[in-house]
Structure 1
Amino acid sequence: MALGSADVGTGGPLEKEGRLPQLLAGVGGGRLGERVQDLTALRTDLPAEKIDGLCDVRLYRQRAFAEDCPRELDALIDESALRRTIGGPGVMREQLEHLLAASESPGTTIRILPAEAGGHPGLAGPFVIMTFPEATHARDIVWIETLSTSVYLDQETEVARYTDVFTRLWDRALDPARTRSHLREQIQELRT
């Protein structure tokens, strides 16, 4: 997964409850304002210039990820993240269209964990698993963004636990074709 300077790898973010994977958040139109609003709500302790800096970093990572091939991204998105309206129906429709387009990009697999999956360990919070297959000495890392900071876990047992959760949820999620159908249906709902 991409994070900071390590913009290559495989693994998967689990995003839930109104949060979408940062690498897949749309950046066109009014999206920058939405990202500022999202960060401002998450990090109420930060002044505006720090929020702007975080937005700049996220936008840089998105552009670098989009331009960096080959790369892989397995994104597992809880359906509730797609149902929470942020920025209005037009913004949400654009975001879903962006996700649909991203799901058809080489190296990007998106799967939606449907609401019918019920309670699951991923509800404890979003996380990103970063792997670096071409780096001989790099370990896999789990990245967790909290209200006040980011936490990086690199101990084998911790990474294995998050990898197991991700794998189990990935297996319960809609397959890529059904995910694209689900996204199309939601886009259509927002047009009416």
Structure 2
Amino acid sequence: MPASGRMKTRILIDDRQSTVIQAPFPKPWNRSYPVSINWSLWQELSASQRDLLFLHYVCWLTSVQLLKPELYQGVAAVGIVGTIFELFQADAVGILAAGGLTAIAAMQVWRRNTGTQAKLDADEAAIRVAQRRGYSERDAARHLLEALETVPKIEGRGGMTYTELLRAQSLRTVLGTASSPPPTRIRTQ
């Protein structure tokens, strides 16, 4: 686990959940972020697959930054202030405009932290952390790809989700078995 994730991540064992591993969206006011693991399903993965899958979730949790001052966070803050101002003015059109601006900016912040690109970035970060732990880049990518392909079978799902398929294609590119990574237009959705 990366050093930045040791103090922030709390591991919970929950054999009632239907997924192998899950982590709810981290709230900025929480000091630690729970990662729930179904131990019986978790044991069906190899140790290397467990390592890389866990690293992916920790890297994703530590990369989410809702309160980092960036463009959309600033627009959302201005929109909230504008909505409150317009509420005091009792201006319906102003409330709708400022509220709409807030909603659009908040949606962009949400998409940036939970979208496909965030998951792909977490995969890359997990591979970098695994390299510091002694894995080669190819081995780390291979184990993460195997975990991605094995988890739907273990969970009894019909197949991989859209995001998992894009992640698998990106990992195959690292391995050299895919001709090209997912297009940039698709990565940012």
Q: Which structure is richer in relative contact order (CA contacts within 8 A, separation 6 or more)?
A: 1
Q: TM-score range by the shorter chain?
A: under 0.3
Give the structure-1-normalised TM-score. Answer: 0.27
Give the structure-2-normalised TM-score. Answer: 0.27
Q: Which has more helix, going by share of residues?
A: 2
Q: Which has more strand, going by share of residues?
A: 1
